[in-house]
Amino acid sequence: MYYRGFMAAALALALSGLAASSALADDTIPPEAKALLEPLPLSPRGQPVPGFPDGPPAVSPDVLKFSDEDLAKLKAGKFTAGLVMHTMDAGWPQLQVAGISNTLKDLGIEIVGTTDAKFQPGQQISDLEQMIARKPDVIFSIPIDPKSESEAYKKATAAGIKLVFMDNVPVDMAPGKDYVTVVASDNEKNAYFAAQELVGAIGGKGEVGIITLVYDYYYSVAARKVGALKAFGEHPDIKVADVGTFTAPEKAYEVATAMLTAHPDMKGIFVAWDTPAQQVMAAAKTLGRDIVVTTNDIAADSALNVARGEFLAVGAQRPYDQGVAEAKAAALALLGHDVPPYISVPTLRVKKLDLLSALKQVTKEDAPASVVKICNGECF
């Protein structure tokens, strides 16, 4: 696979818990940066699903543990897994796949295939059908359109294949019955942090916008919209002048162009995640507009935007850690153990000040030289 080199490079530090802690232990990091690196408390509940109308309780990945007997059974079980991804063209899915793949390898579970739907729901349904035909014991996936793809995922369950979801559950699917669990970041809190930083940067007053995915039933992204609106709503002098939507990340450029053209006084935009946020920043530059952009998710490419000051703040997921948790949850389910229906990974607050340490927590690697160079001693 084209991302194999990425996973190999990540492996050296990925399986060690020392990577994240070493950044915090460095005495050269200013107290303000260390404070940003402290994880926020988990929001109490996740996505509402059948059986949990208010959302299942959030549980930390720390509960996913194995006995020596469990590990022996996994090695002897010759289990297989498939990954049906929404896209591979970003740091987030690459890190997810790396976390899953490295952990499954350690547990003795073979990956039979990984697919890339290039953010096309129809292609993902086709990928899923082909993966079901390969009869893996478990499939990991994040649905692009949770509504139209639900029946396709239910076919996997009917075929006796266990499902572990990343961040988002298709509609009308119940944990313990139709799927094992969903592992997600604290998406609402990620967005709340980023939006509050935007408000502070523009002096607590003025017009702002939100640009997000068109599928409002895509829970992980919808939760970010909720978090941003909650933050903006706490400031009476902030006006949400427009909410724009896109069907695929590259479409955010034209959405931002239209929004900024229609609102010449707009001071800032919260964007649902980093890849479309890069398109929003490109649109603003083309129009000659100096706006504040905040977003969610961080990877080596979007770290450059933070280092340049193009992204003021990021409420980051920890996709590698999520992948590790997803793999562990799947392995426990394959052994017949109960798995919590919602496993949550806490918010990581990222600004230029703590960028290098935060990026290492996310990617399990030191920041690329290109990022360090642009930081010019201003990032820790």
37 three-class SS = helix
The verdict on pTM exceeding 0.95 is no
Q: Provide the residue range defining the domain that includes 201.
A: 187-317+351-375
Tell whether 106 and 174 lie within a shared domain: yes
CB atoms within 10 A of CB 250: 14
As a whole number of angstroms, the distance between CA 194 and CA 259 comes to 20
Given pLDDT bands bounded at 50, 70 and 90, which one contains residue 2? very low
52 and 164 in a single domain? The answer is yes
- DSSP symbols for 234-303: T-TTEEEEEEEEESSGGGHHHHHHHHHHH-TTEEEEEESSHHHHHHHHHHHHHHT---EEEEE---HHHH
Instruction: Provide the number of structural domains found in the chain.
Output: 2
133 found inside a domain: yes
Question: Based on the domain organization, do 201 and 150 belong to the same domain?
Answer: no
Within this chain, do residues 130 and 90 fall inside the same structural domain, yes or no? yes
Distance from C-alpha of 74 to C-alpha of 330, rounded to nearest angstrom:
11
pLDDT value for 14: 36
**215 or 176: whose pLDDT is higher?**
176
User: Rounded to an integer, what distance in angstroms lies between the CA atom of residue 370 and that of residue 373?
Assistant: 5
> For residue 30, is it within any domain?
no
Nearest Cα to Cα of residue 124 among 97, 146, 104: 146
User: What's the pLDDT at 26?
Assistant: 61
- Whether residue 243 lies inside any domain: the answer is yes
Say whether both 252 and 175 belong to one domain: no
Q: Which residue has the tokens 């990340």?
A: 249
Decide if pLDDT at 29 tops 80. yes
Residue 255 lies in a domain: yes
Query: Within this chain, do residues 239 and 355 fall inside the same structural domain, yes or no?
Result: yes
Q: Does residue 23 carry a pLDDT above 90?
A: no
CATH number assigned to the domain comprising residue 82: 3.40.50.2300
Tell whether 72 and 151 lie within a shared domain: yes
pLDDT tens-place string over residues 110-147: 999 999 999 999 999 999 999 999 999 999 999 999 99
Task: Convert the pLDDT of each residue in 244-259 to its tens digit.
Answer: 999 999 999 999 999 9
For residue 34, being part of any structural domain is answered with: no
Separation CA 289–CA 294 (nearest Å) = 15
Domain identity same for 61 and 72: yes
Residue 236's contacts (CB-CB under 8 Å, 6 or more residues apart) are none
The answer to whether residues 357 and 222 belong to one domain is: yes
Please give the pLDDT value at position 91.
84
Residues near 287 by beta carbon (within 8 Å), at least 6 away in sequence: 257, 260, 261
- The answer to the question of residue 193 being in a domain is yes
Indicate whether 72 and 170 sit together in one domain: yes
Judgement on whether residues 296 and 255 belong to the same structural domain of the protein = yes
| Inside any domain, residue 31 | no
Same domain for 273 and 329, yes or no, is no
Average pLDDT, integer, range 187-202:
97
Residue 5 in this model has a pLDDT that exceeds 80: no
Q: Does residue 231 lie in a domain region?
A: yes
